[in-house]
């Protein structure tokens, strides 16, 4: 059976093998609609593949992408791209995306720990002069009016549950990990995205007035 290497839109395994199991030849053409299943989770995708000579996609034994007689025109469903809040420093964006992508892969403990790390790095960037443990730094941010009371409460939830994911025997649930990611996203939007939008708007106004 022919195979394609793709990121799975279902289990989110990267560059996994999809194995062809059935095909339909479009009448009067060399185009095939091909059903393929993920070797990891066994859920499927559909691909439109043109065959110029030799074996059809299902009859071909090997990697379809590397075969000169096959051309993949389209495939679906494709994985949804994970998007981080705007105006994040590169390292903070990387940590947030790791937290989000671990949820897609059902790695809820890893996601929760990355949510906590994202929060901790965000606070270091916002106020690098603050010292002490994460609890104290969150409190000092609020005392200095750098975050709102609601953001302080969210930050403590992320800190507490991130610690739980790292140290407790019971695994984190999908609901808890998703909630933590949502709190982290809102924290980043208030502390980085919104100030970034304001700065951009101010710059545009200054240029118009110059």
| Residue that terminates a domain, selected from 76, 98, 133 | 76
Compute the CA torsion angle 202, 93, 130, 164 (nearest 10 deg). 140
Residues spanned by the domain of 54: 2-76
Q: For position 106, what pLDDT does the model report?
A: 86
Same domain, 48 and 98: no
Kindly state whether residue 102 falls inside one of the protein's structural domains. Answer: yes
Residue 156 is predicted with a pLDDT of 94
CA distance 185 to 177: 12
Q: Does 96 lie in the same domain as 45? A: no
Torsion of CA 44, 66, 82, 39, to 10 degrees: 30
The reply to whether 64 and 112 lie within a common domain is: no
Give pLDDT, residue 206: 66
pLDDT of residue 168: 83
Structural domain includes residue 82: no
pLDDT of residue 160: 92
Taking the model in full, what pTM does it have? 0.72
Q: What is the pLDDT of residue 205?
A: 64
What pLDDT score does 70 carry?
A: 94
Segments of the chain scoring below 50 in pLDDT: none
Instruction: Please tell me whether residues 52 and 108 are part of one structural domain.
Output: no
Please report whether residue 171 resides in a domain: yes
Q: Are residues 45 and 148 in the same domain?
A: no
Chosen domain end from 26, 50, 76: 76
Residue 154 belongs to domain with CATH number: 1.20.120.330
Kindly state whether residue 38 falls inside one of the protein's structural domains.
yes
Considering the domain architecture, whether residues 59 and 103 belong to the same structural domain is answered as no
Within a domain: residue 84?
Answer: no
Find out whether 102 and 96 touch, Cβ atoms under 8 Å. Answer: no
| Domain final position from 18, 41, 76 | 76
53 belongs to a structural domain: yes
Residues 10, 114, single domain; the answer is: no
Distance CA(180)–CA(118), nearest Å, equals 11
Q: Say if residue 99 is in the same domain as residue 195.
A: yes
Is 81 a member of any domain?
no
Ramachandran region of residue 34, left (φ > 0), alpha (ψ -120 to 50) or beta? beta
Instruction: Identify whether residues 116 and 189 lie together within a single domain.
Output: yes
Q: Are residues 117 and 66 part of one domain? A: no
**Could you give the CA distance from residue 129 to residue 173 in angstroms, rounded to a whole number?**
35
Q: Are residues 45 and 131 in the same domain?
A: no
Tell whether 83 is covered by a domain.
no
């Amino acid at each position: 059976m022919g195979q394609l290497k793709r990121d799975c839109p279902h289990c989110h395994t990267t560059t996994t093998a999809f194995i062809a199991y059935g095909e339909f030849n479009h009448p009067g053409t060399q185009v095939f609609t091909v059903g393929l299943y993920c070797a990891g989770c066994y859920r499927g995708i559909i691909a439109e593949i043109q065959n110029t000579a030799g074996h059809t996609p299902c009859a071909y034994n090997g990697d379809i992408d590397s075969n000169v007689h096959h051309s993949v025109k389209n495939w679906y469903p494709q994985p949804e791209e994970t998007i981080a809040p705007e105006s994040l420093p590169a390292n903070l964006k990387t940590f947030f995306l790791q937290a989000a992508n671990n949820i897609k892969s059902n790695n809820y403990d890893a996601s929760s720990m990355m949510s906590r790390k994202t929060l901790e790095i965000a606070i270091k960037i916002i106020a690098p002069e603050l010292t002490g443990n994460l609890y104290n730094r969150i409190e000092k941010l609020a005392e200095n009016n750098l975050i709102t009371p609601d953001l302080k409460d969210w930050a403590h939830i992320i800190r507490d549950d991130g610690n739980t994911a790292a140290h407790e025997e019971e695994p984190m649930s999908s609901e808890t990990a998703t909630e933590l990611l949502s709190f982290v996203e809102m924290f980043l939007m208030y502390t980085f995205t919104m100030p970034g939008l304001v700065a951009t708007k101010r710059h545009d106004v200054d240029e118009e007035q110059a």
